[in-house]
Structure 1
Amino acid sequence: MNPSPTDALALLHQRHSAPSRQLGEPAPDAAALAALLEAAVRVPDHGKLVPFRLITLRDRHKLRFGERLAARAVERQPDLSEAKREKERGRYTFAPLVIVVVARIDAGSSVPPVEQQLTAGCVAYNLLLGASALGFGAQWLTGWAAYDEVVAALLGLAANEQVIGFVHVGTPQLEVPDRDRPPVSSLLTEWAESP
C-alpha cells in the first residue's frame, strides 16, 4: 500500500537532522536496517551505473575506526587544540550505527562524474529520510575525513571511489528542534524568454 501524498509530504516537512552527539541506542535492528538500505538505494541513476556502495560501522569496529580517525586528525594537524582532539576522540562514540556512503565513479562512462556523485548523494539523503520514517534520527556528516587519502585507504576505497558522507543513525536522546527554513518565495524564480 502506498502512502498518501499528504503523508509523504508530511515526512519531508518533518525531516531534520539529529546531531550525531544526541544519537544513542537503539539502532535499527537487522530487519529495519535491511528495509532502510533497500529504500535508500532507490535513487535516480543516469545510465544505471549504480555508482555507489555502502559500508557499515558498528560496535567495537566503529569505535576503533573513530580512534584511528582521531589519531589521523592529530597527524594531519599536530598543533590541534585539546578541545578539538577531544571532539575527534568522541566523534564515533555516540550514534550506534554509521553508514559510509561511497561514490564509485566510472570515468569511462558518458555520464558525467558529477551526476554519479549526485546519485550517491541521493542514497545518503534517502538514508536520512528512511531513518526518519522508521522513527530514528540521522545526520549526514563529511568533514575532513571524507576527503583524506589515509581515511580512504583505511576504508579500503579504490582509486575511483570517494566518501560522499558518514550517515550517523540512532535514536535521538533529546527532542531535536527544527531550524528556521528559508521561504520558498526567496528561492524561486520563473524563467520566461524575452519577446
Structure 2
Amino acid sequence: MQNDIKLVDYLRARHSTPVAQIGEPGPSGQELEAILTLASRVPDHGKLAPWRFIVYRGEVRRQLGETFLEIMMHDSPDLTDAAREAELSRLLRAPVVVAVVSTAAPHVKIPEWEQVLSAGAVCLNILMAANAHGYAANWRSEWIAYDNRALAALGVKPEEKVAGLIHIGSSDFPVPDRPRPDLADIVTFAGEDRS
C-alpha cells in the first residue's frame, strides 16, 4: 500500500486477497513485530488483552499439515488425493500464518462477549496493519479452528478459541471487489421518521 493513500481511500477499497493468491515473500521478523504491535491497539474494556498470538512460519506449517491430514484420515479414510493435498498445504498457502487466540473468560466486571469482540477487532487490525506494510492478508478459520485435536496441535489451550487464522504474504493478483450490502438494508435510524 502506498504511504500517501489516505485512510478513507484505503477503507473504501479494503478487501481480502484470496488465500490461494498469497505467496512469498512474507513479512520479516521486524515487520511482523510491527504488524502485531499495531494489531494489538484495539478497544479492550478493562485492559485485559483477552487474546494472544501464535505465529506459524517455516517448517512447522508443513508439520501441522501432516497432523491435519492424520486427523482427517482418521475421520474420513477415503479422502481424495486433492483433499489430502489440501490438508498438507493448509498452512503453506501463505509464508506467515498468525492465529489470533481468544482468551475470553468470565470476569467480575467485563462481559465475556466484549472480550470476544476485542479479539475480532485484533483480527481486522492485523489485516490492515499487514496491508499498511505492503502485504496481502486473509482472515480464515476453517475446520481446524473448531476441532479439539487440531487446536491442541496448533498450541491452543482447551479453554481458548481461535478468533482467526490470518494468512500474510505477497500478491500481485488483481482482486475485484465483491458486492457490498446496501445501507438501506442494514441501517435503522432509531426514533426517526426517514420517509
Contact kept in structure 1, 2:148 and 2:158, CA below 8 Å = no
Structure 2 residue 141 is the aligned partner of structure 1 residue 150: no
Counterpart residue number, 2:21:
22
Residue correspondence of structure 1 range 18-57 to structure 2 within 5 A: 18-57=17-56
Contact kept in structure 2, 1:54 and 1:102, CA below 8 Å = yes
Superposed displacement of residue 156, structure 1: 2.7
Counterpart residue number, 1:58:
57
Contact kept in structure 1, 2:62 and 2:88, CA below 8 Å = no
**Shift in CA distance, 18/84, structure 1 to aligned 2, threshold 3 Å:** same
Q: Equivalent pairs: percent with the same residue? A: 39
CA distance in 2, matches of 1:178, 1:74: 37
* Aligned partner of residue 182 in structure 1, secondary structure: coil
Superposed displacement of residue 105, structure 1: 1.9
Deviations 1:44-64 (A, max 9, x none): 111111100000000111121
AA of the residue aligned to 1:136: Y
Superposed displacement of residue 86, structure 1: 2.7
Counterpart residue number, 2:116:
117
CA distance in 1, matches of 2:72, 2:186: 37
Superposed displacement of residue 77, structure 1: 3.0
Superposed displacement of residue 193, structure 1: 7.4
* Aligned partner of residue 47 in structure 1, secondary structure: coil
AA of the residue aligned to 2:20: R
Q: Which has the higher helix share?
A: 1
* Aligned partner of residue 192 in structure 1, secondary structure: coil
Deviations 1:23-58 (A, max 9, x none): 111111122211111110001111111100000000
Superposed displacement of residue 107, structure 1: 2.0
Structure 2 unaligned blocks of 5 or more: none
Contact kept in structure 2, 1:21 and 1:91, CA below 8 Å = no
CA distance in 2, matches of 1:156, 1:83: 27
Instruction: State the TM-score, normalized to the length of structure 2.
Output: 0.89
Residue correspondence of structure 1 range 172-187 to structure 2 within 5 A: 172-187=171-186
Structure 1 unaligned blocks of 5 or more: none
Counterpart residue number, 1:97:
96
CA distance in 2, matches of 1:159, 1:105: 12
Contact kept in structure 2, 1:104 and 1:162, CA below 8 Å = yes
CA distance in 1, matches of 2:164, 2:70: 20
